[in-house]
Chains A and B, each alone.
Chain A
Amino acid sequence: MSFEQIIVSGNAEQLEESELSLLETLDHVLNSGLVIAGEITISVADIDLVFLGLNVLLSSVEAAQEVLQRRVTDAK
């Protein structure tokens, strides 16, 4: 089994190394995981590509659709 994290969109097309993969990673690492204290202090002063919360999810979808659309256009 490959442990490469694969993102599959609605039509089963695989989007490797896309923005989508990054956004999915952000979603996991920032929104879930074991917490050892009552709260975690993180600084967003140097934020460069993070959309916290649900915006990540919707951005993921939009990014997926854009990438798919580009691929369809390029293929023509």
Chain B
Amino acid sequence: MSLYLYCLLDDDFIVENVIFSGPREGISGSLVTLFIPEDFALLVSDFAGTSVPVTRENVLLHAAVVNAVLPETTPLPFRFGTLTTKAALDSFLAARSQALRAKFELVRGCVEMNVKIIWNREWIEEKSAVEMKPGTAFLTEKRRQIFGSEARVTEATKIAAWLEERLSNSIRETRVNTNTTDKLLVTAAHLVERGSIDEYRSRLKNAQLERPELHFLASGPWPPYSFANIDLEFKTQFGVS
């Protein structure tokens, strides 16, 4: 029997003895319970099997369980499909306690807001003045296929910087991706203090008015999915970095 993990909670949640008011039944119908090893608390449920089917029901259940604590506290949400054993979980929490504490410090009192920026336009490459040899032309085309049009990447970078500048006073941290697709130029996740959400929305609205040619897709508040992972520690652990 495995443990299915929804989210990690820190001391505040335990101290305040908040009663979990989310869905009682989690993935595969098992009871969602508050599991409290030392220093942390987790919302978990039992799971029989080695992988979690990706269905609309399962994904929404995962989201609903994590969302249920958001009004009370800011959790570190696990990615959908995270299964472990109690022993492995204890080991993870002991080994990564410091990094997880740092994550909680980062997200405490905040929620995640998201912006996607779309621009429906053709990206036409300027022809190189120099005639390229076949090999260079091939590699240039490959690069374009992998990284996208240079003109688009340049514009996406500019727009990301512009957005950051417009919203910077309302956000604690940002995750931006400009290496997306021809239409989708920028995806940005912003960590926003709960008390600053209205200000953030107002700034975003002003930014939208400033650039009517861009299509904005804004959503939130979300649990801080984009700020929860401890990538570097994992990379170091597995010798990748």
Contact = CB atoms under 8 A, between A and B. Distances in A.
Interface residues of A, number: 43
A64 B217 contact: yes
Interface residues of B, number: 62
A54 interface: yes
Contacts of B194: 1
B76 interface: yes
Interface in B62-86: 62-63, 67, 70-71, 76-84
A73 interface: no
B183 interface: yes
Interface in A30-47: 30-38, 40-47
A29 B234 contact: no
Contacts of A29: 59, 62-63, 77, 79-80, 225
Contacts of A1: 194, 197-198, 221
Contacts of B62: 29
Given A30-B54, A61-B116, A35 B217 contact: no
A35 B56 contact: no
Q: Which secondary structure dominates chain B's binding surface?
A: mixed
Contacts, number: 160
B142 to A, nearest CB: 19
| Residue with the greatest number of chain A CB neighbours at <10 A, chosen from B76, B116, B180 | B116
A10 B216 contact: yes
A75 interface: no
Nearest to B213: A10
Contact of A54 (B7, B181, B208): B181
A40 B81 contact: yes
Contacts of B180: 54, 57
Contacts of B7: 34
Given A10-B208, A10-B215, A43-B51, A28 B78 contact: no
Contacts of A9: 215-217
Given A1-B194, A9-B217, A46-B55, A35 B82 contact: yes
Interface in B20-75: 50-56, 59-60, 62-63, 67, 70-71
23 contacts: A3-B221, A6-B219, A7-B218, A7-B219, A8-B217, A8-B219, A10-B208, A12-B208, A25-B60, A29-B63, A29-B79, A29-B80, A31-B225, A32-B189, A33-B78, A33-B79, A34-B78, A41-B81, A41-B83, A43-B54, A44-B53, A58-B183, A61-B184
Interface of A: 1, 3, 5-10, 12, 20-22, 24-26, 28-38, 40-50, 54, 57-58, 60-61, 64
